[in-house]
Amino acid sequence: MATKYVNAVISEEQGDGSLPVLEGTLGPSAVDIQTLYARHNLLAFDPGFRSTAACKSAITFVDGDKGILLYRGYPIEDLAEHSDFVEVAYLLMNGELPTPIQRKQFDHSLGTHNMLHEQVLSFYRGFRRDAHPMAVMVGVVGALSAFYHDVMNIRDANDRHLAATRLVAKMPMLAAASYTYSIGRPQRYPNNRLDYASNFLQMMFGTPAQEYIVDPVLARALDVIFILHADHEQNASTSTVRLAASSGANPFACIAAGIASLWGPAHGGANEAVLKMLMEIGSVENIPKTIARAKDKNDSFRLMGFGHRIYKNFDPRSLVIQAQAKKVLVHLGKDDPLLEIAMSLEEIALKDEYFIERKLYPNVDFYSGILLRAMGFPMNMFTAVFAVARTAGWTSHWLELQGESHGIDRPRQIYMGQTLRHYPGKK
């Protein structure tokens, strides 16, 4: 395809031929190209949307060059240290931290809606026992649309918030059931005397026949994992949720679409891929060979957990998750050789000019798999845990979009197929 270069006049003035520049409160400005096609008969070509702002949002801000992640203006490090997941979920959904009364009401609402309809539990028996938990969650979460459709009006703000609360409340049991079904264990119900993370742990690992004592160190570590994964701006799964939501689809169907997108190894499945890579490396002695393979452009091997589409500095979540992994392993008295490999790999890579020049730093996935494994989660549940956390962000973006006059999303394309031709033999 021949490439033509067009000089576009871009200014803040609304004169003929000009395109306005939009300013956010933080981050880069954006050229408003909404009228580009109508006024100039041109489309913007941006595969992967690397340079396209698809929406305006007030939820999350990421500065990849500086390693900054803010939820509603609060640094992720502050929230991970001082807050808990339920408070963060409320913050993302409503824009402000809850007052004590609002927090109590939100806790009550989550406790009211955290059960699954008994018919929903019967759905799990329709899946193969070895089905991936994410495959099960895509199906079951989507199926909830049949239970909460006629009773919900997405044009009503109260109904929208109720739907969002239901999703955040039910996701732990939905994820836990996908695991307990696969191992043939009866599913425990939520216990409203427990906090959000503790409840998930008892539904995952407890049995109906005996009391499950929640380890507070593990519960806090899981709560931090939830906080770190709650939202991350316009990533693939969040963009998928917003795209589906723009059509007016049922919110449960929108979240199911997000779960499907999250499942990919380049997105939510990355920590599972990191763990498999560390197992493949096997020992610290094999790290130099691994580094050499990563630098060899003719080798298909990729160093998982390093670099990020957004971050060109340290992922601020990685330092928090690394500290939690060390704390949990010490608490449990475990000496995980994979942590030693990971830390040695990080140390060597960060001194290597190849990684320094390319700004390839460890991301949150590099240590989260080690932490989840230490806590007893099987690898195929890693992404499901991610989905539980990210539901807070997905629902927040769903709420934000529904409150706008957005219209249906409809990306365009550059057509590269055949020009007009007629069926053979047609006269």
How far is residue 76's CA from residue 211's CA, in Å, rounded to a whole number?
34
Of 229, 232, 365, 397, which is the active-site residue?
365
Q: 3-class SS at 61?
A: strand
Q: Among residues 316, 408, 327, which one has the least CA distance to residue 364?
A: 316
Q: Which amino acid is at 95?
A: G
Does the annotation count 107 as an active-site position? no
How far is residue 138's CA from residue 131's CA, in Å, rounded to a whole number?
12
How far is residue 176's CA from residue 388's CA, in Å, rounded to a whole number?
10
Q: Residue 257: how many CA atoms within 13 Å on its side-chain side?
A: 21
Buried residues in 284-321 as b, exposed as e (16+ CB within 10 A): eeebeebbeebeeeeeeeebbbbbbebbbebbbbbbbb
Q: Among residues 387, 92, 335, which one has the least CA distance to residue 226?
A: 387
Give the number of other CB atoms < 10 A from CB of residue 373.
20
Cβ(350)–Cβ(361) below 8 Å: yes
What tokens appear for 383 in the block?
A: 């992404």
Question: Which CA distances in Å does 370 have to 79, 220, 279, 305, 347?
Answer: 22, 16, 11, 12, 17
Question: Which CA distances in Å does 245 have to 174, 402, 408?
Answer: 21, 8, 8
Give pairs for 113-119: CB < 8 Å, separation 24+.
113/165, 113/166, 113/169, 113/170, 114/169, 114/170, 114/172, 114/173, 114/190, 114/192, 114/199, 115/170, 115/173, 115/189, 115/190, 116/170, 116/173, 116/174, 116/177, 117/147, 119/147
Q: 3-class SS at 272?
A: helix
What tokens appear for 148 in the block?
A: 């909460």
What tokens appear for 205 in the block?
A: 């690992």
Of 308, 315, 336, 397, which is the active-site residue?
308
Q: Which amino acid is at 31?
A: V
Does the annotation count 365 as an active-site position? yes
Positions annotated as catalytic residues are 308, 365
